Amino acid sequence: MSRILDTIESPDQLKNLTHDQLKQLAQEMRERLVETVYGVTGGHFSSNLGTVEIAIALHTVFDSPRDKIIWDVGHQAYPHKMLTGRNKLMHTIRQYGGLAPFLMREESPHDQFGAGHASTSISAALGMAVARDMQGEDYHVVAVIGDGALTGGMALEALNNLGHLGTKMIVLLNDNEMSIYPNVGVVPRLLTRLRTSRTYHRAKGDVVSILQRMPAGDALVELGKRFKDSVKELVIPNMMWEELGLTYLGPIDGHNLADLQETLTLAKQLDRPVLIHAITIKGKGFEPAEAESKTHKWHSVTPKSPGKSDNKPSAPRYQDVFAQTLIRLAEEDERIVGITAAMPDGTSLDQFGKRFPDRMFDVGIAEQHAVTFAAGLAAAGMRPVAAIYSTFLQRAYDQVVHDVAMQNLPVVFAMDRAGIAGNDGRTHHGALDISYLRCVPNMTLMAPKDENELQHMLKTALSLEGPAAIRYPRGNGYGVPLSETFHVIPVGTWELLQEGEDLLILATGYSVYQALEAAKILSKQDGIFATVVNCRFIKPLDEELLQKLVAKHDYLITVEENVRMGGFGSAVLESLADHSMVPSRFVRLGMPDRYVEHGSQEILRKILGLDAEGIAQTARELLYKTTDLRDKTLKDVHQR
C-alpha cells in the first residue's frame, strides 16, 4: 500500500492533508524510523520517535523555510528531515556520503541552524527573531528544545535575555523527562511539578475546550483566569516562566496533534515570548523503546551492519577500561570523585557511579559548571576526574584555563571520543583538543597507545599536583592484555618501539599502532626501515629523545588524530626549530584544516591517510620524491 510519507517532498504538502491523514502519516514516520535507523544505520532512535507529532504540527502550522524552526542538538530531528524532502535518503543517515547526523544549513533550507552540541537553539532563535524585527520582516521563529538541553547554561542565558528583550518568538519545550539518562537538576523537578500537578489534567480539559470555543485573544484572557484561579501549584512554577517574561502555555500532550496545532496557532498570534510545554515519551510508538523510555537504552541503537572496526570487536572499549581503572584507583584513594555532564553511559562513568554512588556527579548538560565544580572540589582537597568528551570540553575552555590550570589545580580530564569519532561527524570529532590544550600553561597532556597504557596514564594523572588531560578514542581497544596493577609513567617520556635508519615516525595515541603497522608494510614492500616512537606525552614532549632521534634521521613524519594546525606535529616542529634542528624532509599527518564529515572511523581514517596504508604511502612519497616534488607530496597530503 502506498504511503502518504512517500508522497511528501515538501512541508507545504502537509497543509492539504486531513487530520486523519496526518495521523496516518505519523504512524508511517515511526515505521520509517524503525526500518532505517533501527533496521540499518543505527544512531539516535528514541528521541526521534518522540518528536513525530511535534514535527508534523510545526510544519502544518508554520511555513518553513520562511518561518524559522530551530532544533536543539538535532539528534531528534529525523522526523523534520522526513517532512522536508529527505525521507527517501533516511537509510543513509550518519553514513559516509549520506544525510548528516544532525541538522546542517548546507543540507536543507529547512535546517535553519546547525547543531550537534546541546542548548544552542534559544540563543540562535533569538538572534534570528531580533534580526527579523530589525529588518522589518514578519516571519515566525520557533526554538525546539528538550528538557535535557534546557539544563545547559546557554539555554538559561538565552531565556534570561529573551525575557529581557520581550521578542516575539516561541520556545517549544519537548519534555520527556529524559536527557540521555534520566534528566537531573531542579529545572526538571520544576517541569515535573507542572507535568504531574493533579490539576493539570482538569486544566488540560479546560485548555482544549477554551481554545476550541474562543478567538485567540479572548482565549488567553480566559485561560489566564482559569489557570490563576484553579491551579495553585501550577501557577507557582507557571509564575516562574511569567517572571522570566515568557507566556507559559501548557503542559500539553506532545503526541496529541490537535492540541499541538491549536496551542501553536494560539502562540503564533501572541506578540511576545511564549513557552509551550509539551509532554512526550521517548520511544513513543515502538513498544520496546516505549517500555524502557525512562532508560538510556534506546537513545541510540547500533547499526545492523557496523563498519569494520580498526580494532578487535572483542577488545574492551577504552571507556570501560577507563571506568574500571578509576574504580580500582578510587578504592585506594577516597579523594577520587567522578564528574560527567549528562553522559554517564557514554563515558562509562555510570559503572563508577554504581560502585561509588556518593562519589559520582552527573551535573546535566553543563560542561562549564562541571569543570569549575571540579576545580572547587580540587581546591578543597579532592581528586576530581571530569569525564567529558573532547568535543564537549570545547564548551568549557575558559573554565579549564581560568579556573583549573591558572590555579594549577589537580583536575584530571578524561577526554573520550578524542580524534576521529565516526558517524556523529564534524560536531563530534575530538579534532581540536591537542591544539587547545597544549598551549595552556601547567597542563599535562597524554594519549595512550592502547587500553593498557590508558590504565597507567590514569594512575599517572592522579599522581600529579596539577591539571592533566588524557585523550583516548571512541570504540574498542587493540585487545592487548590489561594490567592488574598500575604504575606511574615518568612525565614527559616517550617509548621507542623500534629503530630503522631510513625514516623516523613520531605517532601519538590511536595512531601509534597504525604507525607500527605502516612500518611493517614499508619494510616488507619497500625495503624502508623506520624508527617508530610512541609519543605518549604531547605536553611536555620528550625533547631529549626527540633531538637524539632527529639527529640520526633525514626523514620525519608525525602522526596524530587532531588537526595539524597547532597539533602534535606543530609541537614537534616548534621544539626542533627552537633547537635549529628541523629536518629538510618533514610531513605532519593529521586532520585537515576543514570540518571532517561523518562516516565510520575506518573510512575516515582511510580518506585522511591516517591508517597504516596511508602512513606508509606518505612515507613512500616523502622518500621517493626529490625535494622539488616534496611540496607536491605535502599538497597531496594536505588535500586529503
Ligand X SMILES: CC(=O)[C@@H](O)[C@H](O)COP(=O)(O)O
Ligand Y SMILES: Cc1ncc(C[n+]2csc(CCOP(=O)(O)OP(=O)(O)O)c2C)c(N)n1
Q: Do you find a cis peptide bond into 490, omega within 30 degrees of 0?
A: no
- Cβ 108 to ligand Y, closest distance in Å? 20
Give 129 or 180: the residue with its C-beta nearer to ligand Y. 180
Cβ atoms of 280 and 259 closer than 8 Å: no
Question: How far, in Å, CA of 27 to CA of 34, rounded?
Answer: 11
Is 75 annotated to bind a ligand? Reply is yes
For residue 405 the three cell numbers come to 590550570
* 117 binds ligand Y per the rule CB under 6 A: yes
11, 42, 79, 146: residue in contact with ligand Y (rule CB under 6 A): 146
32, 59, 68, 75: residue in contact with ligand Y (rule CB under 6 A): 75
Tell me which of 28, 262, 367, 453 is the catalytic residue.
Answer: 367
Q: Which does 417 bind (CB under 5 to 8 A by kind): ligand Y, ligand X, Mg ion, none?
A: ligand X
Lookup result for grid cell 583516548: 472
Binding to ligand X in span 154-193, by CB under 6 A: 180
25, 56, 99, 118: residue in contact with ligand Y (rule CB under 6 A): 118
Question: How far, in Å, CA of 214 to CA of 531, rounded?
Answer: 80
Phi, psi for 12 (deg, rounded to 5): -55, -35
Give 282 or 317: the residue with its C-beta nearer to ligand Y. 282
Question: How far, in Å, CA of 457 to CA of 491, rounded?
Answer: 10
300, 311, 455, 508: residue in contact with ligand X (rule CB under 6 A): 300
Stretch that binds ligand Y, among 254-262, 341-349, 412-420, 601-609 (CB under 6 A): 341-349
Cβ atoms of 477 and 518 closer than 8 Å: no
Q: Which does 424 bind (CB under 5 to 8 A by kind): ligand X, ligand Y, Mg ion, none?
A: ligand X
**Beta strand 537-539 with 444-446: parallel, antiparallel or unpaired?**
antiparallel
Tell me which of 32, 68, 395, 474 is the catalytic residue.
Answer: 395
Give 147 or 350: the residue with its C-beta nearer to Mg ion. 147
* 103 binds ligand X per the rule CB under 6 A: no
Is 147 annotated to bind a ligand? Reply is yes
- Cβ 353 to ligand X, closest distance in Å? 16
Q: Map 440-498 to HEC letters.
A: CCCCEEECCCCHHHHHHHHHHHHHCCCCEEEECCCCECCCCCCCCCCCCCCCCCCEEEE
Give 176 or 351: the residue with its C-beta nearer to ligand Y. 176
* 149 binds ligand Y per the rule CB under 6 A: yes
Pattern 30-69, binding to ligand Y, x per CB under 6 A? -----------------x--x-------------------
Tell me which of 68, 94, 168, 282 is the catalytic residue.
Answer: 282
Is 118 annotated to bind a ligand? Reply is yes
* 459 binds ligand Y per the rule CB under 6 A: no
DSSP string covering 5-37, please?
GGG-SSGGGGGGS-HHHHHHHHHHHHHHHIIII
- Cβ 75 to ligand X, closest distance in Å? 4
474, 536, 588, 605: residue in contact with ligand X (rule CB under 6 A): 474
- Cβ 55 to ligand Y, closest distance in Å? 12
**Beta strand 300-301 with 43-44: parallel, antiparallel or unpaired?**
antiparallel
Task: State the Cα angle at 64 between 58 and 69, rounded to 5°.
Answer: 60
Indicate the DSSP class of residue 88.
Answer: G
Q: Which does 149 bind (CB under 5 to 8 A by kind): Mg ion, ligand X, ligand Y, none?
A: ligand Y
180, 387, 414, 604: residue in contact with ligand Y (rule CB under 6 A): 180
* 254 binds ligand Y per the rule CB under 6 A: no
32, 68, 94, 282: residue in contact with ligand Y (rule CB under 6 A): 282
> Which residues, 6+ apart, have CB-to-CB distance to 595 below 8 Å?
426
* 80 binds ligand X per the rule CB under 6 A: no
- Cβ 188 to ligand Y, closest distance in Å? 9
Residue 282 annotated among the catalytic residues of the structure: yes
DSSP string covering 321-359, please?
HHHHHHHHHHHH-TTEEEEESS-HHHHTHHHHHHH-GGG
* 346 binds ligand X per the rule CB under 6 A: yes
* 368 binds ligand Y per the rule CB under 6 A: no
Question: How far, in Å, CA of 593 to CA of 565, rounded?
Answer: 7
* 417 binds ligand X per the rule CB under 6 A: yes
Cβ atoms of 256 and 229 closer than 8 Å: no
Lookup result for grid cell 580498526: 310
For residue 167 the three cell numbers come to 521578542
Q: Which does 373 bind (CB under 5 to 8 A by kind): ligand Y, Mg ion, ligand X, none?
A: none
Binding to ligand X in span 529-558, by CB under 6 A: none
Residue 395 annotated among the catalytic residues of the structure: yes
Cβ atoms of 624 and 585 closer than 8 Å: no
Is 367 annotated to bind a ligand? Reply is yes
Report how far apart the first and last C-alpha atoms of the chain are (Å, whole number).
46
DSSP string covering 101-115, please?
SS--TTT-TT--S--
32, 59, 68, 75: residue in contact with ligand X (rule CB under 6 A): 75
Is 176 annotated to bind a ligand? Reply is yes
* Neighbour-count burial of 605, counting CB atoms closer than 10 A to its CB (0-12 exposed, 13-18 middle, 19+ buried): buried
For residue 506 the three cell numbers come to 613520531
Which among 83, 102, 86 is positioned nearest to 94, based on CA atoms? 102
* Neighbour-count burial of 287, counting CB atoms closer than 10 A to its CB (0-12 exposed, 13-18 middle, 19+ buried): exposed
Is 631 annotated to bind a ligand? Reply is no
Question: How far, in Å, CA of 163 to CA of 244, rounded?
Answer: 5
Cβ atoms of 464 and 458 closer than 8 Å: no
Q: Which does 64 bind (CB under 5 to 8 A by kind): Mg ion, ligand Y, ligand X, none?
A: none
72, 147, 253, 424: residue in contact with ligand X (rule CB under 6 A): 424
38, 227, 318, 392: residue in contact with ligand Y (rule CB under 6 A): 392
Give 67 or 147: the residue with its C-beta nearer to ligand Y. 147
Stretch that binds ligand Y, among 13-21, 177-185, 445-453, 547-555 (CB under 6 A): 177-185
Binding site as annotated, residues for Mg(2+)? 147, 176
Summarize as ranges the residues that interact with ligand Y (CB under 6 A).
Answer: 47, 50, 73, 75-76, 117-118, 146-149, 174, 176, 178-180, 282, 341-343, 365, 367, 392, 395
Summarize as ranges the residues that interact with ligand X (CB under 6 A).
Answer: 73, 75, 180, 300, 346, 417, 424, 474
Please list the active-site residues.
282, 367, 395
Binding site as annotated, residues for thiamine diphosphate? 75, 116-118, 148-149, 176, 286, 367
Binding site as annotated, residues? 75, 116-118, 147-149, 176, 286, 367
Summarize as ranges the residues that interact with Mg ion (CB under 5 A).
Answer: 146-148, 176, 178
